[in-house]
Structure 1
C-alpha cells in the first residue's frame, strides 16, 4: 500500500505516479527516435502527442470495459530501435509506413494465434541478444556525453546515481529535470516560443519501402511483442489477472494503425509501470485496481498537451545529452537483456554473435542491423543444433522476457 493514501484515493494516486514515471522516463527516447528516422520537429511533436492520446484512451476504455488493470504504453524498445536504425531511412513517410505495417502485424497476432506462437517461439537467447544490441549504443551515450558535454551531463548522471540509491523510481524523471535545467541555462528560453511548442497532430502519408519494412517494421514488431506485450501479460498473470490476449492485441494494433499516420510507432501493453497498477500497491482489493489504469489514462491525456514543449526542449538540446538521459533509463533493460541472452551456456556463442551484429549498426542492401542480427543468430543456432533443443512457448502461457518499457 502507498503510505499516507486512503484506499479510495490509492488507485488514483498509483495511476498518476505510473503515468508521470512512464512519460518522463522515455519521452526523450521517442523524440530522438523520430528525429533519427527523418521526422521534423513538428512531426516528432505530433508523434509524442498521438502516443499520449492513444495510450490515454486505451488506458481509459479497456480497463473500464473489462474491470481489470490492463495498462498500455508506447514501445520503449521500439523507440530505441528507431534511434539505433537511424541510418536506415531519413524519409519519415517510409518510417510511418513501417509503423502502420507493425500495427497490422499486431492485429494479426491477436486474430491469428499461429503468428503469436511463431513470435513467442523465437529463442530467448536470440530475442534478448537482439534487444541488447539495440540498447547498447544508446547506453554508451552517458559515457560519451560526460566527455563531450561534462557541465551538462555529469550533474544529470550524479542525480540519477543518487536517486537510484534512495528513490529508484524517480531517478530518470529527476535526471530529465536536471537536463532540462541545464538546457534552459545554456540555450535560453527561445525553445518555449518555438512553433512546435503548441500541441498539434501532423498527418504524414505513409510510403511503403520494402527495405524499410524489413529493417524497421519487422524488428519493431518483434521487440514490441517480446519486450512489451509478452512481459505485460506476465505481469498481469503474476497478480492473478488472465485476460484474453485477442481483444488486447487487436485494440493495441488498431491504435497503432490509427496513430501511425501521425507518427505513433507502437502502442502495446505496459510492463514495468503495469506492476504498480496491478499490484496491492494500487489497492488492497483486486476489483478496485483497474481505477489506477483509468487515472493513468487521464494523466496521459493531460501530458499530451505538453508534447510540443517536450519536443521543443529536445530540439534545443545537444543530441548526445538527450540520448544520454535515454541511456540511463535503459541501463536496467540492457542488464536484463544481456542476462537473458547469456543465461544458457549452450547458446552463448549464438547470443553474443546476435548481439555484435545488431550493435554494429551495419546496413546491407538497405536493411538495418536488427534484422541481420536475428538472421545471423538464427543461422548460427541452427548450425550448432540449438533449435532442436528449443521448445516453442504457446501464446497463452508467455514466458518472462526483459521488462523494458513503461
Structure 2
C-alpha cells in the first residue's frame, strides 16, 4: 500500500507541477490569437480534461507510465503569432486541422521508425538538457525568495535522507503553506470552482492554417512527441507511438472547439512518473499516470482556485519544486548519456544544444539537440579498417566452427 501511495503521490505532484509551470503561457497564447478571458479559461479547462481522460485511458490500456501534457511550445508559438484574420474562430479552426495532422501522423509508419532510430545515449542527453534549467531552479529560488524557498529545500533534504519517497510531496506541501502564509490573499478571494466552458464554432482561414495549424503541428511533434518518446525509452519503455498519436490527436480535436490548442506526449512530467522513484517495479509505474490524469481533471474543474494559488507564488518557487523532483532524473540521464565511450561526443553535443534553450523556426532546443547529436554521431562514426574487418570476420567464423 505504501509503495502504491508513493506512485499516486508522484502522479499528483506531476499534475500540479505540469499545470503550475506553464498554464500562464497557455492563457497568454490563447489571448494572443484573439480569445476572450472566458474563452481562454475554457481552453485551459478543455486541455486539463483532455489530459486527464487521455492519461487515464492510456495508462490503463498499456500499463505504462505514458504522461500527457498540453503543447507548451505550441502555446508559445501562439503567443508569438498574435491575431489572425478571422479572429479566435479561425484559430480554433487551425487547432482542428492541427489535430487532424497529428492523427494522420499516427496512421503512417515513419514517426515510429524515426523514434526507434534515436540512440539511447543521445536520448538520455536530450532529457538531461531539457531538465537542467529546472534542476537549477532551487538554487535561484533560495537566492531570490529565501524565506519561501529555504524551508522547501530543507524539507526536501531531510525527507530525502530519512523518508525518500515523501521528499518531493513534503516539499510541495511546505511550498503551499509558505504561499498561504506570505501571499496577499487577493487572488484566493476572487477564485471560483465553477467550470467555465465556452464553445467556439471553428472557421477555416487560409492565413490561420498557414500561420498556426502547420507550425503548431510541427512544433508539437518535434518539441513534445519526439522528446516524450525519447524520455520513455530512457527508462526502458517502448509504447506504440502510432496509437498514441491517434489518441492524442483525437483528444486534441475534441478539446479544440472549447479553446484547447493541442495535446501531446509529455517530456518533463514523463521523467517524474516513469523514473525509479515513482515505483520500484517498472510494471507498476502506470499508476502514477492514472493519478496524474485524475489530478489534471481536478485542477481543470477547480481551475480558478488552483490558478489563484499559483499566482500568489513567485514563479521561481513553483519551478524549484519541479527541480527538486527532477534531480534524480537528471543524474540517471547524465549517467546514461556518458557511461559508454562510444558516442559520448554526440551525447555531449546533444546535451549542450538542448540545455542552451535556443529556438529556431519556432522549434525548441530539444529537437535541435537531437538533430545536432545525430549529425555528430554520423560525422564521428568510424568504420572498421579492412584489416580490422577481416579480423572480425575471422573471429566470427572461428566461433561458428
TM over 0.5: yes
Change in CA separation of 1:88 and 1:128 when aligned onto 2, cut-off 3 Å: farther
Counterpart CA distance in 2 for 1:98 and 1:334 is 36
Q: Is the 8 A contact 1:74 1:267 kept in 2?
A: yes
Change in CA separation of 1:280 and 1:380 when aligned onto 2, cut-off 3 Å: closer
CA apart distance, 1:31:
2.7
Runs of at least 5 residues in structure 2 that lack an aligned partner in the other structure: 85-90, 203-207, 385-401
Match in the other structure for 2:176: 180
Counterpart CA distance in 2 for 1:266 and 1:26 is 13
Q: How does 1:220-259 map to 2 (within 5 A)?
A: 220-228=224-232, 230=233, 234=236, 247-259=243-255
Tell me which of 196, 200, 220 is aligned to 1:200: 196
Counterpart CA distance in 1 for 2:311 and 2:283 is 37
Q: How does 1:363-378 map to 2 (within 5 A)?
A: 363-364=359-360, 367-378=363-374
CA apart distance, 1:126:
2.4
Change in CA separation of 1:152 and 1:44 when aligned onto 2, cut-off 3 Å: farther
Runs of at least 5 residues in structure 1 that lack an aligned partner in the other structure: 4-9, 238-242, 283-288, 389-406
Q: Is the 8 A contact 2:125 2:348 kept in 1?
A: yes
Q: Is the 8 A contact 2:271 2:326 kept in 1?
A: no
Match in the other structure for 1:342: 338
Bigger Cα Rg: 2
CA apart distance, 1:250:
2.7
Q: Say which SS state the counterpart of residue 67 (structure 2) adopts.
A: strand
The alignment status of 1:156 with 2:152, answered yes or no, reads yes
Counterpart CA distance in 2 for 1:33 and 1:325 is 19
Change in CA separation of 1:194 and 1:387 when aligned onto 2, cut-off 3 Å: farther
Match in the other structure for 2:21: 29
The alignment status of 1:171 with 2:167, answered yes or no, reads yes
CA apart distance, 1:124:
2.2
Counterpart CA distance in 2 for 1:325 and 1:290 is 22
Counterpart CA distance in 2 for 1:104 and 1:250 is 9
Tell me which of 260, 264, 267 is aligned to 1:266: 264
Change in CA separation of 1:163 and 1:278 when aligned onto 2, cut-off 3 Å: closer
CA apart distance, 1:118:
1.5
Tell me which of 117, 121, 140 is aligned to 1:121: 117
Q: How does 1:2-401 map to 2 (within 5 A)?
A: 2=1, 17=9, 19-31=11-23, 34=26, 49-58=45-54, 69=63, 72-75=66-69, 90-91=80-81, 107-108=103-104, 110-194=106-190, 198-201=194-197, 208-209=211-212, 214=218, 217-228=221-232, 230=233, 234=236, 247-259=243-255, 261-263=259-261, 265-267=263-265, 273=273, 300-364=296-360, 367-385=363-381
Q: Say which SS state the counterpart of residue 174 (structure 1) adopts.
A: helix
Q: Is the 8 A contact 1:141 1:323 kept in 2?
A: yes
Counterpart CA distance in 2 for 1:132 and 1:38 is 30
Counterpart CA distance in 2 for 1:20 and 1:335 is 22
Q: Say which SS state the counterpart of residue 122 (structure 2) adopts.
A: helix
CA apart distance, 1:151:
0.8
CA apart distance, 1:92:
7.6
Counterpart CA distance in 2 for 1:308 and 1:216 is 27
Counterpart CA distance in 2 for 1:347 and 1:293 is 32
Counterpart CA distance in 1 for 2:246 and 2:222 is 17
Change in CA separation of 1:56 and 1:134 when aligned onto 2, cut-off 3 Å: closer
Q: Under a length normalisation based on structure 2, what TM-score does the superposition of the two structures give?
A: 0.69
Change in CA separation of 1:293 and 1:180 when aligned onto 2, cut-off 3 Å: closer
CA apart distance, 1:37:
6.0
Counterpart CA distance in 1 for 2:249 and 2:191 is 31
Change in CA separation of 1:164 and 1:299 when aligned onto 2, cut-off 3 Å: same
CA apart distance, 1:323:
1.7
Change in CA separation of 1:346 and 1:147 when aligned onto 2, cut-off 3 Å: same
Change in CA separation of 1:297 and 1:115 when aligned onto 2, cut-off 3 Å: closer
Q: Is the 8 A contact 2:69 2:264 kept in 1?
A: yes
Q: CA RMSD in A?
A: 4.6
Counterpart CA distance in 2 for 1:214 and 1:281 is 32
Deviations 1:214-237 (A, max 9, x none): 555412121122224x568x56x9
Q: Is the 8 A contact 2:272 2:329 kept in 1?
A: no
